[in-house]
Amino acid sequence: MLTVPETVKLFDQNAYAEDFSATVLSAERIVKTEKKGKKKKKEIVTWEVILDRTLFFPEEGGQTPDTGVLGGYPVTDVQLEGNVIRHTVLDNCGEDELFAVGQTVSGRIDFARRFSNMQNHSGEHILSGLVHGRFGYDNVGFHLSDNTVTLDFNGPLTEEDILWLEQTANRVVWDNKEIRAWYPDPEELKKTVYRSKKEIDGPLRLVEIPGVDMCACCAPHVRRTGEIGLIKIIRILRERSGIRLTILCGSRALAYMQTLQKAAEDVSHLTNMPREEIAAGTARILEDNDKLRQREAQLEAMMTAVLARSVPPGQKEVFLFAEGLGNLAQRRLVNTLCESHEGYCGVWIGNDQDGYRYIIGAGTESSKVSGDSTEGAGTEGNGAEPANTRDARVLNACLHKACGARGGGSPAMVQGSVMAAEAEIRRALEEALYERP
């Protein structure tokens, strides 16, 4: 149980203050060991500090806490426990006594980050107020971190609704309305209609954007809506229970738009199209690409047919080396060869410098049962092997042994790759086929 008094929230009094000084009410040194690599352990020393007052906004209401320094040391977390705010401070210098009870310390928050949070949080209130006012939905989830700002509503919004929402929200920004945050007395609160996500114990703080929103909220806000700069809805996720909007406001929205503009400029240069027409231009390129793929498939089919015809019909084992055939065409060629040749049929695609990828099929003979001597009569072959012993994995193993090939498969078909020259591969295949004991 904490026995320290309630922390005075300086950020409530002035959301724009960056520096403050306070008295340390409690300070606890915590040592944790963190595993680093296999054996090394790293010791992490932090201090849990409670002050009489603070500018650090704690993690609350879906918003991540402020960062900054306290006594010159980085503040890595700020949590609210009841009415007390606890700061986690990293000891990055290895001193024993960073904080002592009764000591006066100075603190500074990362104001650029805080201001960005204020812009996004105030932007969220405008959007939630507008959605509530027009559609009657509640904001049932809010998340504001360095990377994402999301809002969940418990009802659907159409494409048109969202356009209206973004337009109207930005009009509220241009109107530069004053944003007021205060703790109303119980009488005033009773008469006020406001949005609230949960039951709040203790004094309730209201944030008002006149004509747009009235909401119970604990977070710092900008003074006037004009400071939000820009409200941009960048992603819409429709869920069964409602809709999730991902938004960006102010400096984050500007940074995002700059990134998009750069991407659009790059595509514009690459496609030689004006920026406004890159979608149509890209669609044309994709269409051309489809046509080229079809043409490529036709050419590959022709090449496969020519290659298949180049092998004398009576030849038993077929090993073809070629360049420029895709995987699918290579497989089709192996299948075609296997249908009309008894022995192993392999196709190697590549060249001696870069190596080859190969597929080897076991040929028609592999499917014969032992003793079926009538089929395949009149074809070339020594007839020494029983028909059902063909197993493409045998060739794969020989290629692996002789040339370091890597691959695998079934008795009927193997595939793999090999960094070796055609002559070397052919020699290994010859040995595998004819010099086996």
Give CA–CA dist 212/264, Å, rounded. Answer: 35
Q: How many residues bind Zn ion (CB under 5 A)?
A: 1
Quick check: 77 and 67 in contact, CB under 8 A? no
CB of 209 to Zn ion, least distance (A): 11
CB of 167 to Zn ion, least distance (A): 22
Q: Which of residues 206-265 bind Zn ion (CB under 5 A)?
A: 217
CA-based nearest residue to 166, from 231, 228, 210: 231
Say which DSSP state 60 is in: B
CB of 57 to Zn ion, least distance (A): 11
Torsion, Cα 167 171 177 179, to 10 degrees, reads 10
CB of 227 to Zn ion, least distance (A): 16
Q: Which of residues 323-382 bind Zn ion (CB under 5 A)?
A: none
Binding mask of the shown chain, residues 65 to 84, with x at each position contacting Zn ion by CB under 5 A: --------------------
CB of 15 to Zn ion, least distance (A): 12
| Beta carbon nearer to Zn ion, 124 or 342 | 124
Q: Which of residues 178-217 bind Zn ion (CB under 5 A)?
A: 217
- Identify the bridge partners of residue 159 per DSSP, sorted by sequence position: none
Strands across the sheet with 213-216, in order?
A: 180-182, 206-209, 213-216
Give CA–CA dist 123/212, Å, rounded. Answer: 11
CB of 221 to Zn ion, least distance (A): 8
* Residue closest to Zn ion when measured from CB atoms: 217
| Beta carbon nearer to Zn ion, 164 or 194 | 194
Strands across the sheet with 139-144, in order?
A: 139-144, 149-153, 242-249, 231-239
| Beta carbon nearer to Zn ion, 49 or 217 | 217
| Beta carbon nearer to Zn ion, 89 or 217 | 217
| Beta carbon nearer to Zn ion, 41 or 198 | 198
| Beta carbon nearer to Zn ion, 149 or 429 | 149
CB-count burial class (<10 Å; 0-12, 13-18, 19+) for 8: middle
Helix and strand numbers, DSSP H then E, in the chain? 9, 20
User: Is 151 a residue that touches Zn ion (CB under 5 A)?
Assistant: no
Binding site for Zn ion (CB under 5 A): 217
